[in-house]
Amino acid sequence: MNLLKKKRIAKICILMIFILLFLGGYYMYMKKYQMYVRVASYDENSAEFPSKRIWFDASEWLNSPQYIKVHGTYLINKKFIPLENLDTWGALGITMKLQDKIDNSNTFPELNALKNMETIKFLNLMKDKMSYEYIYTKFDEKSLKPVLDFFLVKFLYKEKRYELLMMRRLYENDYVYDHYGFVYKENEWHKENDDIMTYRDYLEGKIDSYK
């Protein structure tokens, strides 16, 4: 093999290496902007049944210093909208969901006295006894926008504090709420979910930002 041919092969190899490095770098760059939502899967033979991942480009939000990606399916919104009016009629949507979970739970017998309580009576009982902690935000599966905010709603009853994870979403220009999981004693949710990075971790400097 003559020298000219060897040089040509060497150039081709170098070019291929550069292309592979470029493609690898581009893939890693784009990967950090990829997020997913879970949607129902009706194919029982699918490995993703009963739900599957739909991946999408979230760079519109992740390029903003307002958001931090901490998982493939959720992020931290540094400028989340707080829960307001917890001591007014505005909290009715929250207290009704709280009641629903208490009514259908047998975890804490000491909360049995709250079961099937009249709605307004329960609302008044919770006045000045509720607080919250923002957890993280997820994307809506239809709009693919980060509009599903999760909070730990905490309440005091007979000198003991409890908490319940709730999701807030916008529906017809008003906020509605859904509850998730179980009622916990205060701080037990974090112990049960210590593998999840939350807003608390961000405040404590435990989350590495892309920014």
Q: Is the per-residue pLDDT at 18 higher than 70?
A: no
Domain locations in the chain? 1-31, 76-203
Between CA 70 and CA 135 the distance in angstroms is 12
Between CA 15 and CA 183 the distance in angstroms is 59
Between CA 150 and CA 164 the distance in angstroms is 10
pTM above 0.85? no
pLDDT digits (tens, 9 = 90+) for 143-174: 999 999 999 999 999 999 999 999 999 988 88
154 three-class SS: strand
CA angle 119, 125, 127 (to 5 degrees): 110
189 three-class SS: helix
* Cβ atoms within 10 Å of 160's Cβ, excluding its own: 12
